[in-house]
Amino acid sequence: MPNVLVLANQKGGVMKSTLAVNLAVGFALRGYRTLVVDTDPQANASYSLGVAADEDHCLAAFLRKGRAMDRAIMTAQVLPDVAVDVIPAWISMGLVERWPDIKSAPDPHQIAERVRERMADYDWVLVDGPPHLGYWNQVALEMGDKVLIPVPQAGNYPLIGLLQMRSTIESVQMRSNPRLRLLGVVSTLVDNRTSMGRTARERLEVFIKDPNLVFETQIPRATSVEWSQAHQGANLFTTAPREPVTVAIVKLMEEVEARWQKSALAQ
């Protein structure tokens, strides 16, 4: 079975999609067969991967079962000789969360298990979670093995949200997904020119009360990220391969892999 990593934070704009896409490209560059599952109806990860999703070619197909699920997996050519498979999101997925439609939606655990049945051939699966604690966030956590929470450097609001996400992870773990564990927390949008940026990691360690959960790697703020987000099908390995933000993502990927191996040996 693959390593299934969920990028989760109920706050938007924290680099979840950027990390999901570029970690996936990084793993694919190393020869791993990689899948991205976009559970955010805003479909930012799907846009960055350049796939032509629609109502029948997106994660919502798993609500319908049958042959529809096979059409949901698409392939993104992220580099001339490197491809990443993707189950994209589509804006109509947000309709599931409306009241009273949510009352007739399948159990998120069922949807997650249907997706996991299609994961057997992959080495790494990166799940991009939505910026809220709704139905699709539950699906994301139900299908995951481990969770990586990106936390931006600014203020205390992201830290308060971190507590909510940790509580949600523990709830899903106890109720329906005993595999789920918090792999760690990573500082994002770090600007080392400011005092807050220079102390971002230390503040996280104090707040989370477990330095081992905080990744050494910090992801810097960079205009190249904004540029790649503005261009469909763009990733940092093609648009900014030598910039500090891309180097940091490679280091984060190596740290994720090392932590995963360590946790596997500990089990």
Q: Tell me: pLDDT of 158 over 70.
A: no
pLDDT at 155: 59
Confidence band of 100 (pLDDT split at 50, 70, 90): confident
Q: What angle do CA 16, 45, 73 make, to 5 degrees?
A: 130
DSSP one-letter string for 7-20: E--SSSSSSHHHHH
Report yes or no: 115 and 37 within 8 Å, Cβ to Cβ. yes
Report yes or no: 46 and 96 within 8 Å, Cβ to Cβ. no
Q: What's the CA gap between 21 and 36, in Å, rounded? A: 7
Q: What's the CA gap between 136 and 6, in Å, rounded? A: 12
pLDDT at 267: 64
Q: Tell me: pLDDT of 247 over 80.
A: yes
- In the chain, the domains with their CATH numbers are 3-266 (3.40.50.300)
Q: Which two tokens stand for residue 195?
A: 């005092």
- pLDDT tens, residue by residue, 192-206: 888 877 888 888 888
Q: What's the CA gap between 178 and 47, in Å, rounded? A: 32
pLDDT at 123: 98
pLDDT at 194: 83
Q: Which of 20-34, 84-98, 201-215, 236-250 has the lowest mean pLDDT?
A: 201-215
SS3 label, residue 83: strand
In the block, which residue shows the tokens 């703020």? 221
Q: Tell me: pLDDT of 69 over 90.
A: no
Please state, for a pLDDT cut of 90, what percent of the chain lies above it.
73
Q: What interhelical angle do 200-208 and 157-175 show, nearest 10?
A: 40
Q: Tell me: pLDDT of 181 over 70.
A: yes
Report yes or no: 222 and 240 within 8 Å, Cβ to Cβ. yes
Query: Regarding beta strands 146-152 and 124-128, do their DSSP bridges make them parallel or antiparallel, or are they unpaired?
Result: unpaired
Confidence band of 21 (pLDDT split at 50, 70, 90): very high
Q: Tell me: pLDDT of 141 over 90.
A: yes
Q: Which of 13-22, 91-100, 114-123 has the lowest mean pLDDT?
A: 91-100
Rg over CA atoms, the chain: 17
User: Which of the two residues, 150 and 194, has the higher pLDDT score?
Assistant: 150
Q: Which two tokens stand for residue 139?
A: 């699906």
In the block, which residue shows the tokens 């891309």? 246
In this prediction, residues 82-99 reach a mean pLDDT of: 94
- pLDDT tens, residue by residue, 125-135: 999 999 988 99
Q: What's the CA gap between 243 and 221, in Å, rounded? A: 11
Q: Tell me: pLDDT of 37 over 80.
A: yes
pLDDT at 203: 82
Confidence band of 172 (pLDDT split at 50, 70, 90): very high
**DSSP H or E stretch at residue 75:** strand 74-79
Q: Tell me: pLDDT of 66 over 90.
A: no
